[in-house]
Amino acid sequence: MSAEKSPNSGAAPPKPVSMWKWAFRFLRWSTYLAALITLVMVLHKSPAPNVVTTPQAAASAEQKIEQVEQSVSRGERPTLRLDESELNSYLATHLALEPKTDASAAPAERARHQRETSRRCVLPFAT
């Protein structure tokens, strides 16, 4: 007698995967995928935005700040509204921002620049 056995004849039929197990697997792999996407987005370096600054906008911002200081001295409630170019221009002229320099710049030149920019001051706003 030569009876050939099929490979599946002795094995039990596969059990269907329960809904809870399938949901857990889906949640686990979607969490891994979300973590990977988050990590890629955090480590991705985006270019700096273009900032528009003009001397006219800086002068306009200075004038508005002076008006706010005058209204504070009169006891009025101060309201300061600056548009984007005015704010950027004001910050560019009053903050000690380091310009983009090469890594090959001399350390003495960088030290001189730091001394010059540390002398600048920012006007405090009245509260």
Convert the pLDDT of each residue in 67-106 to its tens digit. Answer: 999 999 999 888 899 999 999 999 988 887 666 555 555 5
User: Whose CA is closest to 61, among 39, 81, 47, 32?
Assistant: 81
The structure's pTM equals 0.44
User: CA 101: distance to chain centroid?
Assistant: 22
DSSP H helices in 44-79: 55-73
Would you state the pLDDT for residue 120? 47
Would you state the pLDDT for residue 46? 87
CA distances from 43 to 10, 31, 36, 37, 46 (A): 53, 18, 11, 10, 9
Convert the pLDDT of each residue in 7-49 to its tens digit. Answer: 556 677 888 889 999 999 999 999 999 999 999 999 999 888 8
